[in-house]
Chain A
Amino acid sequence: MSQRERQPSGGVSAAGQPGPLSAAAPLASAGLPWEEIYPSASPAQQAELLALAARQGGLVYSHQLPASANGLLRDPARELLTRLLAGKTDDLEPLHVQPTEVEDAALDPVQREAVAKALQTPDLCLIQGLPGTGKTRVLAEIITRAAVRGERVLLLAPHAATLDRALHLIRDREAIYAVRCLDREENPESLPPSLRELTFAERLRRLREDTLEAARRDIQAAEARSAQLARGELLWPRLEELAERRRQLDEQLDALRDCRGQVADLAEQEVRQAESATGDHPLRPALDALRLELNESLARIEKVREDLTAQVKEHEREQAMLAAELDRLRPLAEAKQSGRWWTFAWWRAVFSRTQLARLAACEARLGQLGEALNRLKEEARRLDKDKERSEQVFQEGRARVVESAAARRRAELDDEEAALRHEAALIQEKWQAACQEFGSEAAPTAPTPAALRAAREAWQQRVREAEERRAFARQWAACLEESAATLANRMREYVNVVAATTGSLAADEHFGDAAAPLLFDLLVLEGANQVTESEFVNLARRARRWVLVGEPAPEEGDLEGEGQATDRKGKGDPARPSPPLPSRGTAAAPPAPASGEKGKGEGTSRRPVSARSPIIDPRASFFQRLWHQLHCDPRRLPYAWVHDKDGLCCRLRPLPPEQRPWLECERVADFPDVELRILAPPRTPPVLAEVVFPPWMSIAQAKAYIFHELAELPVRAERHSLRWLEQPERLVLSLADSPPADAVPVVLGHGVREWVAVRTAGSEGGESHPTSWHTCLVEFDRRAGWHRRQAEEWVQQHLGIRDLGRTVRLDIPYRMHPELAAFLSDWLFAGAYDLPPAAPELAPLLSGNGTPAVQFVPVPSPAADRSSRRRSEVAARSGDGRRGTVMLRPAKAGAGLELDAGDPRHRDRLPAELRADFSGTGFVNYLEAQAVVRTLQALIADPALQAAAQPCGDDPHRVTIGVLALYPAQAELIRRLMARVPSLAPLPGRHGDTETRRQGEDGSCSVSPCLPVSLSSSRSKGITIKVDVPAAFREGECLVGLVSLTRSHSHRAVSFGEGPDLLVRALTRARARLIIFGDPGTLARRAQWQGALDHLDEFASAWEQRLISRLVGYLHGQGAPSPRFQLCEGSAP
């Protein structure tokens, strides 16, 4: 059972069942709805009511409700604040946030954690950060994410500039519908256009007028389109006709194509027809001529053939006769030749000698006949060939006739096709002409019926759509006209970000007290450190949850002693007295005495009894008080580890030197090597103050000893915040960025280990530091059964701190170059900055040319002052001469260069051309103003700056060079001097010529203090310069900042500007380089003055004195690392 469960809060019955009701039962909430009763109950009461309802089946009885005061509901905001400011944080449940998706991917883990806490807190969340650490960026992300979640956000700030910077970041985000309320002294015309359009009136005007006008334009466009489409109704028949004709033409062309393939056959057919025709035929003469020629030829051949045949017959007859004669003669010849004398034939041959001659003659004749026959056969074959040739000639002639017929037919087809194609081309022209009337989107893709059909369907669809659009446009315009009166209410519902200054919200016409109440889900208050508690309570009623964003109070570092300040990052004396935790039961509750303590220091208490209270501004805002109550700052733990007698000494409480005489030493009975030092002042219970270990004991052994014997975890932390990291295998309480590789583990129990980083004595960055021991983290092993709540309870028990998870501290000044951040951290914030990574666009401004981040320009210059017997003088010089580090010897008084602009006699000492119409108030320093202008001239000629300068666009918060004069009169003087320098002349139309520059009667020019000026010089285009007082640079930043301290009094200490907060603001606007102009003597005089001064009260004066003292120290060669700071010899760097 938790403590809260053991202690039921008043008004809520703890009974599980409905108890006996009596007239005395509290009934004060009667009549109030549950939605008001429950939120107004304290967290403990709320938890108890829910538990009661769960036990009773989801129901509570009216008598079990918490009583309200005097029958009225309590103000939850006021009650919560009162409780928290009184340190009553026990009933706040620690907030365990889940990672949240962010749009701005450049946010670092701590900034993301801030977003997550702001979105997930059930009540409030505090975000604290020094200048330039990205508060506004985180805030913009919070607002965006809340809006994405559908929440309504009220963005408040004491000053409009703060709002505007945040609005500038979120105004274009889709989920944001922001309205900026006008501040009391603002009117819409005074706002830049980008902001003016965010005002309710302008938004409403645009909604009423611009939207309506656009809707009317839509009507016209829709009507024009409908008319255009309607013309298609007449065109479609034409198109259809053309398409049909085109279709026919295509068919004809296809037919022609077919015909062309059949031309040869047709020609042959025609020739045959001609051959067989009886009547006239064009081909007939040619064919007849061919036929005639053939016939003649054949006849001639036939005749020759007949002759030949006759000759052959004749020859064959003769041949037969000869053959018969030969047959008769040949036996005589053979008998003669063979000498067969006994034969008759021999005898006949002998006696008829002619017979043999006849035989020879017949044979010869037979031979002749054979040759003649052969010749005749050859001739007959030749005639056959002639006949074939004649027929071939005829066929060739006929083929020519066929071919000529085919050619004729082809020519006819060509003519026909050409005619068709010509017609098709005409149709295509007509088609295209018709299609052009449709426009490109509705035209058919091709002059075909199918394409036409598809196009017509699409056109009909478009006609319907156009009709719908036209009807819609008319309805929409009519709706806008009719609802013009109610648009304001409608718009009020849509607004999800209302931005207003804290002073103007109540009087706002639309979101103020007079309007219908609008409950916001989230109130984001930036600049919460400048808002009073009552102001906040009045505003807090408007929202369910609150996110307060502000800067830390100066006591967080600025007003600490030198020793404290130098120990911020592990440097300096780690045994310095530490301020105690705030006196609250959670964060500062001392751990309960461990059982093992008895016998180690009988009768002593080991609780801190005295510690220097933090220097708290008596005017500290409720934000800072709230921060002290809610933020768990491990640096406020009282423990310290130091070397003592060659061994380790654990200081359990701060021990001022004046209390050291009261220390009594005592050895531990069962471990004599360990020495206990007990603080026993008179009339005060003794307390254990220190434990000294022998030299052979390591830090791990010493820590383990303390933990096991005292059940305390003496932690020394480096950071201002702790973080819980939930990892898969372990839970980590992180007290540093990351443990170094040589961190020492200390086993504290089952699954619990502490990691201690040991920084051995040495020097770093030009400064020496002793050995120090810092706890990096305490880890809890999940495998050993640790879970978050259990680990938190362990930490609360042994470390005395309980992180409520509602605060986030931003320490990395992303705005600045690391060199500048390091210097300002040391000077202004006692080392509270964590150095940022170097922004690429800033690197050329410093690292490229070896320019130091901070330069001080003494006015008058030491060289000039020596001649005028000035009391400060150059003491040493190093480096390259002009840019060398120069240290000044201490001066006792200033040069007396300042003039009171409000005093006419003083003003008369200004040059006549400058003092006309001089309206500035405060002090001026003419020499210093001249030095500033000379520096400006040098700066704008710097190529590195020209390269780095970015046009400020419509963001008035970012300029290239910011000149911050502590007094309006000095700012005006600088502007007037700038106006006399051609290279510093403003660019026409860029806030300089037409808008802000005004011509005086005497021809002098002045520039409005509010808007940056873009330069017209061709070399310096893109460079913007803004000259103003620090208050006008709220939320602004510049690449190079020139700070004119102005004051130069001859004999007394004087204050600088309106206060140290504005001085700090002036010094933290620069991103890369800071150039300070001042009178070293006056500064030295101021550094010597303690107590209230001029309009500054004691606190502010002490703060300013501390700032000036450290600056004087730098001027005298103390403190800051020399590469970062340079004292210029002349009046221009």
Chain B
Amino acid sequence: MTVAGPLVFPGSRVLAGWWQLLAPFQPQALWVAHLLLHRVEALACVSRPRSLDRFARLVLQALTLGHERTLPALEDRLHLGRQTLYQVLRRLQQEGLVQPGPSGEWQPTGLGRHALERDEYPAVGHERRRFYFVHSSAAGRKPHFLDLPDAISAPCVAPDDWAFDVGILQACVRQPAEWKRRWGFPLDVEEVHTIPRVGPPADALEGGPDPNAGAAADEPAAALGLPFPTPIPEPPAWQRVIVDWPEHLLSALVLVAPGSGGERLLGFAAHTEGWVLQAERPAFRLGEDWAEVFPELTEESPEIWQQAWRAWCQQRKLPLAEVEACTLQRHGHRLRVGAGKRLIDRLQAVRSQALRGEVWLLAGSGRIRPAAQLELVSLTP
């Protein structure tokens, strides 16, 4: 578990190495982020197609042969033994594929017949699922869903303003399929169970996913074209409790050119220990709406680069007047610094890597900081 403390960011060489590792993705800009995540565990009603295994299929088929469907009649066809057969039918009943009648006859349900026709059926069940939401400390900003695989992030101590509104998750579930595809929200989740709130209602959602959007997605059977209900038992209250775990993810956020898979922002997991970047595969991908998740990336102020440049020069004891005289210009992943000749000479004297374009700067003071490769150009001809 990560204990709360000062945020640690990688240095110039690490960033340079990361940039090289990320080169196959044709990065255009780089940020380093200490993401705070809500790992929300909730009991979800999940519907996913399940193939009908041969054994179950044949038992179902046996129910359609002949006219008598009592247990003895079925046993005459299957010879499993009455007690075994009863358990087989009970399993199928739990799956909603068969049902016993009042006269002891078993018959396939609509779902069962559907399964027989297509060799698969929508299995509806309860699963405890994990949903990741990016936490933001900015006032008025609600956590946003992030499609993140399990075991990428690590538990951490949450900040003081840590809170999560279950409505955000429920609103995500109600979003249309297109929205879910765009953000990688699991399509098979049809409902998130919760227990009713006691006491004052939660504040209305602001800025999060539209709670009213995508009402059509809330119809599992209809969505699957099934004209019958899919059986699902009611879970007990304790299983409906949602748990919010704070987690931390150090990641490199990379803006890539459109056309390379259509994604605009990729997130790569990294570890502070040894500054290892898992560059083989992005931990998450965001489309062109990535700014909804990370609006701070678009709110970059030139001042932070001034400060970063100033701090870099200060570490190298460069004259403040010459530093202040420089002009800074951001071009993609580069920070073009127009410096006076004397400043460049000084840097040449110390064989600064900045002159070779090997210096990377991180700007800002928040959890997400932009990174730029320093490019020195002389202001004087």
Q: Which residues of A does B touch, CB under 8 Å?
A: 16, 18, 20-23, 25, 27, 30-31, 33-35, 38, 46, 49-51, 53-63, 65, 150, 174-178, 203, 206-207, 210-211, 214-215, 218, 465, 468-469, 472, 475-476, 479, 482-483, 490-491, 493-496
CB A23 to nearest CB in B, in angstroms, measures 5
Sample (13) of A-B pairs whose CB atoms are under 8 Å apart: A18-B162, A21-B159, A27-B157, A33-B128, A34-B243, A35-B239, A38-B241, A58-B195, A59-B166, A60-B241, A62-B246, A174-B82, A214-B79
List the 6 shortest-distance A-B pairs measured between CB atoms, nearest first: A58-B194, A214-B79, A494-B87, A57-B197, A54-B198, A59-B242
Quick check: is B51 within 8 A (CB to CB) of the other chain? no
Chain A residues closer than 8 Å to B61, beta-carbon distance: 472, 475
Interface size classification for chain B: 35 or more
Closest to A491 in B: B84
CB B16 to nearest CB in A, in angstroms, measures 34
New contact pairs (18) apart from A203-B84, A479-B55, A482-B54, CB-CB < 8 Å: A18-B163, A23-B4, A38-B241, A50-B238, A53-B195, A53-B242, A54-B199, A56-B197, A57-B194, A58-B194, A58-B196, A58-B197, A61-B158, A174-B86, A210-B79, A475-B61, A490-B55, A494-B84
| Cα distance, A65 to B241, chains bound together (Å) | 12
Interface positions, chain B 189-203, Cβ under 8 Å from A, are 194-199, 202
Chain B residues closer than 8 Å to A483, beta-carbon distance: 54-55
Interface positions, chain B 231-259, Cβ under 8 Å from A, are 237-246
Chain A residues closer than 8 Å to B167, beta-carbon distance: 57
Chain A residues closer than 8 Å to B55, beta-carbon distance: 479, 483, 490
| Cα distance, A34 to B244, chains bound together (Å) | 11
Interface positions, chain B 16-58, Cβ under 8 Å from A, are 40-41, 54-55, 58
The CB with the most chain B CB atoms within 10 A, among A176, A177, A214, is that of: A177
| Cα distance, A60 to B163, chains bound together (Å) | 10
Chain A residues closer than 8 Å to B240, beta-carbon distance: 58
CB A120 to nearest CB in B, in angstroms, measures 14
Interface positions, chain B 124-141, Cβ under 8 Å from A, are 128
Chain B residues closer than 8 Å to A38, beta-carbon distance: 238, 241
Quick check: is B1 within 8 A (CB to CB) of the other chain? yes
- Our pick among B3, B158, B241 for the contact of A21 (Cβ within 8 Å) is B158
- Our pick among B3, B65, B91, B128 for the contact of A34 (Cβ within 8 Å) is B128
Contact B65 A63 (CB under 8 A): no
Chain B residues closer than 8 Å to A472, beta-carbon distance: 58, 61-62, 65, 77
The CB with the most chain B CB atoms within 10 A, among A22, A56, A65, is that of: A56
Quick check: is B381 within 8 A (CB to CB) of the other chain? no
Quick check: is B71 within 8 A (CB to CB) of the other chain? yes
Majority DSSP secondary structure for residues of A touching B: helix
Majority DSSP secondary structure for residues of B touching A: mixed
The CB with the most chain A CB atoms within 10 A, among B87, B88, B90, is that of: B87
Contact A21 B157 (CB under 8 A): yes
CB A478 to nearest CB in B, in angstroms, measures 9
Q: Which residues of B does A touch, CB under 8 Å?
A: 1, 3-4, 40-41, 54-55, 58, 61-62, 65-66, 71, 77-84, 86-88, 90-91, 94, 128, 155, 157-160, 162-167, 194-199, 202, 237-246
| Cα distance, A1117 to B195, chains bound together (Å) | 70
Contact A62 B245 (CB under 8 A): yes
Closest to A59 in B: B242
Contact B79 A211 (CB under 8 A): yes
Chain A residues closer than 8 Å to B197, beta-carbon distance: 54-58
Chain B residues closer than 8 Å to A23, beta-carbon distance: 3-4, 157
- Our pick among B1, B88, B166 for the contact of A27 (Cβ within 8 Å) is B1
Chain B residues closer than 8 Å to A30, beta-carbon distance: 1, 155, 245
- Our pick among A60, A218, A482, A496 for the contact of B243 (Cβ within 8 Å) is A60
CB B349 to nearest CB in A, in angstroms, measures 47
| Cα distance, A211 to B79, chains bound together (Å) | 5
**Given A174-B83, A472-B61, does the pair A60, B244 have CB atoms closer than 8 Å?**
yes
Contact B84 A57 (CB under 8 A): no
| Cα distance, A497 to B209, chains bound together (Å) | 49
Closest to A24 in B: B157
CB A452 to nearest CB in B, in angstroms, measures 24
Chain B residues closer than 8 Å to A57, beta-carbon distance: 165-167, 194, 197, 202
Closest to A31 in B: B155
| Cα distance, A496 to B89, chains bound together (Å) | 13
Contact B128 A35 (CB under 8 A): yes
Closest to A482 in B: B54
- Our pick among A55, A65, A207, A469 for the contact of B65 (Cβ within 8 Å) is A469
Closest to A497 in B: B83
Chain A residues closer than 8 Å to B198, beta-carbon distance: 51, 54-55
Contact B238 A496 (CB under 8 A): no
Closest to B238 in A: A38
| Cα distance, A601 to B87, chains bound together (Å) | 68
**Given A177-B84, A177-B86, A207-B80, does the pair A475, B242 have CB atoms closer than 8 Å?**
no
Chain B residues closer than 8 Å to A207, beta-carbon distance: 80-81, 84
- Our pick among B78, B86, B128, B157 for the contact of A175 (Cβ within 8 Å) is B86
| Cα distance, A226 to B129, chains bound together (Å) | 53
Contact A16 B199 (CB under 8 A): yes
CB A1061 to nearest CB in B, in angstroms, measures 36
Chain B residues closer than 8 Å to A475, beta-carbon distance: 54, 58, 61
Chain A residues closer than 8 Å to B82, beta-carbon distance: 174
Contact B243 A59 (CB under 8 A): yes
| Cα distance, A46 to B236, chains bound together (Å) | 13
